[in-house]
Structure 1
């Protein structure tokens, strides 16, 4: 691990603000009058369910034009948690209105995807069709079928993920829009009941294996923990601990410890450890063991020469940023000042790596030598008045026509190497879930409790 501290200075408020420009650039459907990304316009207006249920809206998951509710739910929960914990920093930076707008946009689609009491949309668009197309989302003409989960194809993981996102969002909106907050909470509860009544993994039924799920008990535990926080109902806490025990047996000894769309158990541990619940000490031990692996570089976590805590060859920055968010959240609830400072310093060192301490910025449009050829169809395409957009655009050596401001790309390999090419989706593709933890830690860095250097 590189323990040296860089003297570089970063404008965390600007980075936080830019991260929400990325979310706006990923929007699908009819864009609002407040749209700030002038190279985007309305797209996929005819997205619909099998019986014509309206499914326009939401956001494209990554560099393609698919809408995927499993990682979208996880993304929304992570983003909402950061807003809940560091709302003052969001407000002081002038970013809170954009954060609320993003959460409302996401939650509105996640609720619309519940097209019938026992039907939920897992995906809009077919990967085979979508990935054969390189062009503007506004110009799509391919079929975009909706994939539905129901009792014959249960989706406890998917429904748990979305329930968690909606429950967390309901808490964010409680002080500012009680009607929308109540709607989010009601949907979160309905989806949780759906997911616990019909148990199964959503990715077991032939849906494109883009975000395959390893398990569902972690997602149900995470949802139950958020529902307990939102309602105070004891039954949700009982479920959260029960599903957590099941997930611990299945997951914790088998996986590299990462907190992401496929492993929500660490979110449950952190959430319950920061609340006054029975067995709080147990969850504190779990999450502190998780942090120890990341800070010490053990249990599948390694360190690059330049100091990044590294967990995966595919999109490592998202996992590190998510861990950073849990670290700063947990630090705010600790009586142990020494551990709190260690967690905050570690999280800041990782964010600084991403912002430029490694010699380049991994944030599009910000810092020194940021990526200019990110794997994102919309950003790569020129204005329609300038020319068309197809696979020749993809293979071109020219930079993207538009700057996908605020997008955190996947990240380097273990040797700190990185290739800025559109074809390098493994390292150079941003995604919704890749930005959520990043946004939250940036807000934390603006908080008075954070150390500075």
Structure 2
């Protein structure tokens, strides 16, 4: 959301004084996401066992429970997670296109890899059988409806969605785009 704000409003004189802060916030998140995407078809989606973490009443710095990492890959797909991260990378790529073209290019490479991964290894992250199962976002599953329209602008590629794409469950297209649900986002683009 911050990336799209920079794209839409970053050139306005009233926004310029906050542009550096907005770009720093975007870079903080995208740097983390780059580390979570070490290979084309691998994306780490969660660190820590939710049950163990919720049972622990101490500062994170003092925790002694294992910090297990959960990932999606070719055997454990997560189109929703990979697609959403691809969109974040793509939007950030546009936001950094003028101020840091090299970083913008790196972000776009990650976006394309994750979109291809999401498209070729379809499955919902929330249905991947791991200990992360009880602590996942409740997504509607419309990978192409939510992701593809947002990938067109940064990639300058018209993406063709296969006719066989199945929406795994119905989705309410509400009026606001939030953390959950993101389903209204396509209509904004």
In the superposition, the TM-score normalised over structure 1's length comes to 0.38
Q: Deviations over 1:382-427 (max 9, x none)?
A: xxxxxxxxxxxxxxxxxxxxxxxxxxxxxxxxxxxxxxxxxxxxxx
Consecutive unaligned residues in structure 1, runs of 5 or more: 1-77, 272-453
Aligned residue runs from structure 1 range 359-374, under 5 A: none
Change (3 A) 1:256 1:181: closer
User: Within 2, Cα distance between the matches of 1:185 and 1:209?
Assistant: 32
Q: 1:179 to 1:256 in 2, by over 3 A?
A: closer
Cα distance between partner residues in 2 of 1:114 and 1:220:
20
Structure 1 stretch 203-212 or stretch 185-194: which is displaced more?
203-212
Distance in 1 (CA, whole Å) between partners of 2:148 and 2:78 is 16
> Which residue number in structure 1 is paired with residue 154 of structure 2?
230
- Runs (5+) with no aligned partner, structure 2: none
- 2:131 pairs with 1:213: no
The 5 A counterparts of 1:335-374 are none
- In the alignment, the residues of structure 2 paired with residue 242 and residue 166 of structure 1 have an alpha-carbon distance, to the nearest angstrom, of 26
Return the match for 1:109 from 27, 32, 35. 32
Is contact 2:77–2:125 with CA below 8 Å preserved after alignment? yes
Cα distance in 2 for partners of 1:246, 1:85 equals 32
Q: What SS is found at the alignment partner of 1:129?
A: helix
Deviation of 1:266 (Å): 1.3
* Structure whose alpha-carbon radius of gyration is higher: 1
CA positional deviation for 1:258? 4.4
Distance, in Å, in 2 between the alignment partners of 1:177 and 1:193 is: 25
CA RMSD of aligned residues (A): 2.4
Distance in 1 between residues matched to 2:123 and 2:62, nearest whole Å: 36
Please state if 1:121 is matched with 2:41.
no
Q: Which residue of the other structure, out of 170, 178, 184, is the alignment partner of 1:260?
A: 178
Following superposition, the deviation at residue 216 of structure 1 comes to 2.4
Higher helix share: 2
- The 2-side partners of 1:110 and 1:210 are apart by 19
Q: Do 1:90 and 1:96's aligned partners in 2 also have CA atoms closer than 8 Å?
A: yes
2:71 counterpart SS class: strand
